[in-house]
């Protein structure tokens, strides 16, 4: 492949990334864009995946062409064409039957059942070029791809605390430890997540709405699905029942089972905001992918720590993290950290 064609495929791939954004950002399926080129490298059709049960991006693009136009064409697609039958047939079959000459894709399909499309295409005599602008597609589809690789939603745990690590004063009062700028960022983080998780204790004590709101008090355009973990009954007049999404109340306290249920519902990222007991349970389960910690320049003392037992009994068992962002927000400090990868 010469440099000119590489440049063409990269330009077209960026267009395919833009097209993919037309599809739903949340749900079981990824956002995918596809573009068909003729032998001269001219765009002759575009497509994208419009949601579960609808034609995949490649099939959408193919549907806009005649058999003669399709034959010998190049299909540029953001994700490796799928190789399994779900609510629709395998995209590789559609491409093989259409007799395209070449498929150019960015990221390999991470699904256990749906992967292997590139190999099938090569076996059918179709040229396959992978990895074109993979980094850009990885960034664009980060939540879906990581969730597919993990087999569960990505988990972010958040807490706000005093400088000495307390989330409330000894009498239980906690509003507000951190300031307005910190709260505004928290709400943007809520809006970016597919689900927000709290425990029944938080619902009973604080009666939160679990919505994502702007600084002016309006609802963000996207809202996380509220999830409440625990065994205590929740009053029918609780604010969560006025949330734009119906609350999910799993019938278990098993973290892995809960994440499996949410993954099956198409929720790819969760925001845990439920107090020390819940945060500690997720940490101990070893499923936290990201930590959002807000530190206020104040001292509270007492026993109400941000984190309790996390399965660490010795220094050798500690949970090491890497800071990826440290930012001053008004008087407060925001720290974003991720688990340290083993060398």
> pLDDT tens-digit profile of 87-101?
666 889 999 999 999
| Strand runs labelled E in the chain | 33-37, 43-48, 74-79, 102-107, 127-129, 154-162, 195-199, 225-229, 269-272, 290-296, 321-329, 332-339
Whole-angstrom distance, CA of residue 208 vs CA of residue 197: 12
Nearest residue to 82 (alpha-carbon basis) of 63, 64, 50, 55? 55
User: What is the model's pTM?
Assistant: 0.84
CB 114 within 8 A of CB 84: yes
Residues with a catalytic annotation lie at 58
pLDDT tens string 129-160: 999 999 999 999 988 999 989 999 999 999 99
Dihedral sign of CA atoms 230, 233, 239, 240 in order = positive
Dihedral sign of CA atoms 54, 264, 142, 275 in order = positive
Average pLDDT over residues 14-34: 91
Q: What percent of the chain has pLDDT over 70?
A: 96
- Tokens for 337, please give them: 């950290």
């Amino acid at each position: 492949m010469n440099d000119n064609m590489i440049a063409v495929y990269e330009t077209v791939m960026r267009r395919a990334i833009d097209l993919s954004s037309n599809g739903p950002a949340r749900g079981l399926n990824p956002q995918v864009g596809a573009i068909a080129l003729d032998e001269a490298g001219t765009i002759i059709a575009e497509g994208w995946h419009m949601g579960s049960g609808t034609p995949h991006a490649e099939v959408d693009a193919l549907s806009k062409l005649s058999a003669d136009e399709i034959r010998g064409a190049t299909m540029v697609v953001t994700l490796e064409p799928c190789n399994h039958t779900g609510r629709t047939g395998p995209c590789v079959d559609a491409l093989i039957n259409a007799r395209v000459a070449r498929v150019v894709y960015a990221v390999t399909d991470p699904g256990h059942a749906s992967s292997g499309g590139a190999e099938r295409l090569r076996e059918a005599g179709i040229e396959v070029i992978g990895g074109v602008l993979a980094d850009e597609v990885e960034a664009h589809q980060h939540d879906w791809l990581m969730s597919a690789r993990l087999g569960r939603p990505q988990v972010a745990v958040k807490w706000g605390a005093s400088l000495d690590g307390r989330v409330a004063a000894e009498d239980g009062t906690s509003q507000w430890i951190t300031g307005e700028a910190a709260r505004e960022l928290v709400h943007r983080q809520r809006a970016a997540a597919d689900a927000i998780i709290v425990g029944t204790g938080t619902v009973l004590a604080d009666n939160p709405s679990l919505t994502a709101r702007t600084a002016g008090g309006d609802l963000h355009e996207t809202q996380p699905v509220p999830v409440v973990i625990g065994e205590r009954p929740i009053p029918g007049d609780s604010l969560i029942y006025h949330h734009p999404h119906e609350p999910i109340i799993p019938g278990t306290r098993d973290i892995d089972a809960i994440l499996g249920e949410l993954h099956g519902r198409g929720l790819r990222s969760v925001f845990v905001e439920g107090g020390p007991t819940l945060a500690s349970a997720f940490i101990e389960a070893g499923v936290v992918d990201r930590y959002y910690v807000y530190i206020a320049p104040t001292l509270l003392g007492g026993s109400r720590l941000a984190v309790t037992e996390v399965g660490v009994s010795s220094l050798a068992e500690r949970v090491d993290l890497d800071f990826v962002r440290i930012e001053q927000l008004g008087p407060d400090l925001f720290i974003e950290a991720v688990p340290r990868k083993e060398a």
